[in-house]
Amino acid sequence: MKKIQISAESTIDLPKEVLSEYDIKTIPFTLVMGDEEHRDGEVKGEDLFAFVEKTGRLPHTSAINQESYRKYFSELLEDAEHVIHFSLSSGITSATQNAILVSKEFGGRVDVVDTHSLSTGIALQAIYAARLAQKGLEPGEIVAKVMERLPYDQTSFALESVEYLYKGGRCSALARLGANLLKLRPQIIMHPDTGTMTAGKKFKGKMEKWVVDYVRTTLEEFPNIDPEIGFVTYSSAEPEVIEAARKLMEEKGFKKIYVTRAGGTISCHCGPHCLGVLYFSDGPHPID
């Protein structure tokens, strides 16, 4: 039996090989498209975007309920003494509170971290915890170290259109009108104190231009990088656009850069042609 199992929801947006690399288990959200329900991860971004284009309706997610967490944590504890679960921000979903409530039923063997983040911003915290667990730290020590870094989880993205945010009730009609008229490509930042999304800088131009502007701006605003791991995460983008973002992070000094694609839950909020760079902005934190 292993000592600690690191866990997250499917909104961690990591491919299977990276989940395996760090031994992170996941529980999926449910994605509802019309009358059909799918497990997050079963629907490709292009299929989701085609559904919206055809129907004009936005898929929505169904929060993971308490019974699902209860079954999931019980299964993990069959093979581990302790579970540390990293949950999608409570500022975005009620699932987080469900996980926290259920965790109290396991006699202190399950810790739930409200990451105040999403997508690979969650992955930053979970991977850091996994690396600490590999070094033999106790669960309480790991959670404490993660919480110290949580305010420096730089999670942001820029997107070509606010239509999906508008359809999902996260953007006002006035902001939508202004963005459309001026053809703005807004930066969206996850606020680490509240776990909610706030507007950042505005960019213009074609995707190959605004992505470079966004990445450069972000790296300038949050220059105190932890170079160990960084992410380029996107919903849809041309290969040369993704490579331009990755190259800028490489030039900044990141040692390992994972390029990942957002899953269905995250994509149904941000829409197509969205890209983010994510990393810790609290300087180097060597574990070895």
* Average pLDDT of the segment spanning 155-170: 65
The pLDDT of residue 106 is 97
* Average pLDDT of the segment spanning 11-36: 93
With cut-offs at 50, 70 and 90, classify the pLDDT of residue 161.
Answer: low
68-104 pLDDT, tens digit each: 999 999 999 999 999 999 999 998 889 999 999 999 9
Q: Are 39 and 59 in contact (CB under 8 A)?
A: no
Both tokens of residue 86?
């990293």
The pLDDT of residue 88 is 95
* Average pLDDT of the segment spanning 1-24: 96
236-267 pLDDT, tens digit each: 899 999 999 999 999 999 999 999 999 888 78
The pLDDT of residue 173 is 34
103-153 pLDDT, tens digit each: 999 999 999 999 999 999 999 999 999 999 999 999 999 999 999 999 999
Residue 27 to residue 200: CA distance in whole angstroms: 31
Q: What percent of the chain has pLDDT over 90?
A: 63
Q: Could you give the domains of the chain?
A: 2-48+59-150 (3.40.50.10170), 152-280 (3.30.1180.10)
The full 3-state SS of the chain, as one line of letters, equals CEEEEEEEEHHHCCCHHHHHHHCEEEECCEEEECCEEEECCCCCHHHHHHHHHHHCCCCEEECCCHHHHHHHHHHHCCCEEEEEEEECCCCCCCHHHHHHHHHHHHCCCEEEEECCCCCHHHHHHHHHHHHHHHCCCCHHHHHHHHHHHHHHEEEEEEECCCHHHHHCCCCCHHHHHHHHHHCCEEEEEEECCCCEEEEEEEECCCHHHHHHHHHHHHHHHCCCCCCCEEEEEECCCCHHHHHHHHHHHHHHCCCEEEEEECCHHHHHHHCCCEEEEEEECCCCCCCC
Q: Which residues pair with 279 in a beta bridge?
A: 154
Return the minimum-mean-pLDDT range out of 16-20, 40-44, 210-214, 248-252.
40-44
For residue 224, give the nearest of 283, 268, 269 by alpha carbon: 283
204-222 pLDDT, tens digit each: 888 899 999 999 999 999 9
Strand order in the sheet with 24-27: 24-27, 2-9, 80-87, 110-114
274-285 pLDDT, tens digit each: 999 999 999 999
* Average pLDDT of the segment spanning 222-242: 96
The pLDDT of residue 163 is 56
Assess whether pLDDT exceeds 80 at residue 188: yes
The pLDDT of residue 183 is 60
Assess whether pLDDT exceeds 50 at residue 43: yes
4 CB-near residues (< 8 Å, 6+ apart): 80, 81, 82, 83, 84, 133, 139, 142
The pLDDT of residue 272 is 84
